[in-house]
């Protein structure tokens, strides 16, 4: 371990590598000076990022599913994490790969096999540079719990937005549509007992998290213009359970954050269908949580109106017709009836918040 008079107390290093043995080496090497957290998967990495904002990330380039370069993009386009320095530690020594890593925001690149003392010195150098620069103020530990909850949701929202590769306001609109549908449903006899003001507020705030599991999907699948293969579609369907697993990992750090159960339901079940032919569990009718039934309708409505690389968008009237056609098959028939009374509000949202 490199000696230094620089105070490293409280500094947190997140090490991301799919090798248990490599993570063990990092812990043995660094734990004397830093708080060290290891993540073998990107679900674990996202949970660590959300639960405890690290001061530095050590990232392997050759992770399964999403590459190190793709994860650098996710961090770069997530405002809450874009300033965290990233040191790439990799056996890929191709000059073009190293240059691309720096273009995408890496602070340093260490080639494997590496000298442990050299890595120590590089980490220390980065922390000294950060100490000399103006730093973002730490959150006041006396802040209200609701403020901490809001910060956590905001961080997850930014991660979801960074993976929404279509450069649209889709995630923003989902929350507006879902809150409007829930608000209208709360006025009906059928839903009055289930939907409270707190429910409406939470679904509006957390709807944007529904596809957080897509952090695990490689770019080539998200950008693919031709139809997905059956194997690729099966892979993409895992984003619901991957997203729910991320929330489960965050709950281990914040066991009192019961509001995350609400987010978990909408993340895990928003692709279930009323007739039981959806995924991941094939739930049907009222076994599907109400929050997920609302998100399913709102997501479909906005998705078909949003241009994608693999298809054109439809207009407002056609989107309404698609929702109507899904009554009793894709969607809760009672929610479709509520939707019919929301057309004017949905049209206003679509117009005000268009791409």
Cα separation values, 223 from 167, 215, 270, 307, Å: 12, 13, 22, 12
Q: What is the DSSP string of 23-83?
A: HHHHHHHHTTTSEEEEESSHHHHHHHHHHS--SEEEE-S--SSS-HHHHHHHHHT-TTTTT
| Backbone phi, psi, residue 172, to 5° | -65, -45
Q: pLDDT means per 10 residues in the chain (355 residues)?
A: 65 94 95 92 88 91 87 87 92 90 92 92 87 45 52 81 69 95 95 93 93 86 86 93 92 82 96 98 97 98 86 92 97 97 94 86
- CATH architecture of the domain formed by 145-352: Orthogonal Bundle (1.10)
Q: According to CATH, where is 3.40.50.2300 located in the chain?
A: 12-132
Predicted confidence at residue 223, as pLDDT, reads 80
Q: In angstroms, rounded to a whole number, what is the distance separating the alpha carbons of residues 250 and 327? A: 35
Predicted confidence at residue 307, as pLDDT, reads 83
User: At 95, which helix (H) or strand (E)?
Assistant: helix 95-103
Predicted confidence at residue 147, as pLDDT, reads 65
Residue among 238, 318, 312, 308 nearest 279 (CA): 238
| Fold adopted by 12-132 | Rossmann fold (3.40.50)
Q: According to CATH, where is 1.10.3210.10 located in the chain?
A: 145-352
Predicted confidence at residue 285, as pLDDT, reads 97
């Amino acid at each position: 371990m490199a000696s230094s008079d620089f105070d490293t107390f409280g500094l947190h290093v997140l090490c991301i590598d799919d090798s248990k043995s490599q993570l063990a080496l990092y812990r043995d090497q660094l734990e004397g000076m830093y708080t060290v957290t290891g993540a073998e998967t990107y679900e674990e990495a996202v949970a660590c990022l959300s639960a405890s904002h690290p001061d530095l990330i050590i990232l392997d380039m050759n992770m399964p599913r999403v590459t190190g370069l793709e994860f650098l993009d996710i961090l770069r386009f997530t405002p809450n994490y874009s300033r965290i320095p990233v040191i790439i530690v990799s056996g890929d020594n191709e000059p073009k790969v190293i240059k691309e890593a720096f273009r995408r925001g890496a602070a340093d690149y260490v080639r494997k096999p590496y000298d442990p003392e050299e890595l120590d010195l590089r980490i220390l150098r980065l922390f000294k540079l950060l100490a000399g620069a103006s730093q973002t103020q730490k959150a006041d530990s006396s802040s209200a719990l609701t403020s901490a909850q809001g910060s956590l949701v905001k961080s997850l929202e930014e991660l979801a937005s960074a993976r929404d590769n279509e450069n649209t306001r889709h995630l923003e609109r989902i929350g507006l549509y879902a809150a409007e549908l829930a608000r209208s449903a709360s006025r009906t006899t059928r839903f009055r007992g289930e939907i409270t003001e707190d429910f409406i507020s939470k679904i509006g705030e957390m709807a944007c998290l529904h596809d957080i599991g897509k952090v695990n999907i490689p770019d080539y699948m998200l950008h693919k213009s031709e139809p997905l293969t059956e194997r690729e579609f099966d892979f993409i369907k895992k984003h619901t359970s991957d997203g729910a697993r991320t929330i489960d990992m965050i709950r281990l750090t914040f066991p009192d954050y019961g509001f995350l159960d609400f987010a978990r339901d909408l993340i895990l079940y928003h692709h279930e269908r009323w007739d039981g032919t959806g995924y991941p569990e094939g739930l049907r009718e009222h076994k599907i949580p109400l929050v997920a039934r609302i998100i399913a309708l709102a997501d479909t409505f906005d998705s078909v109106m949003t241009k994608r690389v693999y298809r054109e968008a439809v207009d407002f009237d056609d989107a309404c017709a698609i929702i109507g056609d899904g009554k009793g098959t894709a969607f809760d028939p009672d929610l479709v009836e509520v939707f019919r009374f929301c057309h004017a509000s949905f049209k206003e949202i679509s117009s005000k918040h268009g791409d």
